[in-house]
Amino acid sequence: MVKIRLSRKGIRKKPFYQIIVTNSKNSRDGRFIEKLGYFDPLNSNKKLQLNKKRIDFWISKGAILSKRIYSLIK
């Protein structure tokens, strides 16, 4: 099963997340198929960047959104 979810990057107490497409059995920061954007919860200027066309493409192929990604896109 393919999922669209967050992958944590950055250092301790300064999180930075990449929005990725991955197999649901892979670890959170493990292998991924494609990067679709990023989410920076600490930076108020450019907090969220998405590639909406690629997200729609993966959803049409049967990818499932995680709860957090669903709330960010909404």
Q: Is the pTM of this model over 0.75?
A: yes
| CATH number of the domain enclosing 30 | 3.30.1320.10
Per-residue pLDDT tens digits of the chain, which is 74 residues long: 999 999 999 899 999 999 999 998 888 888 899 999 999 988 877 788 999 999 999 999 999 999 999 998 88
**HSE-up (13 A, CA, CB side) for residue 60:** 6
* CA 41/CA 63 separation, integer angstroms: 24
Residue 18's pLDDT is: 94
* Parent domain of 41: 2-73
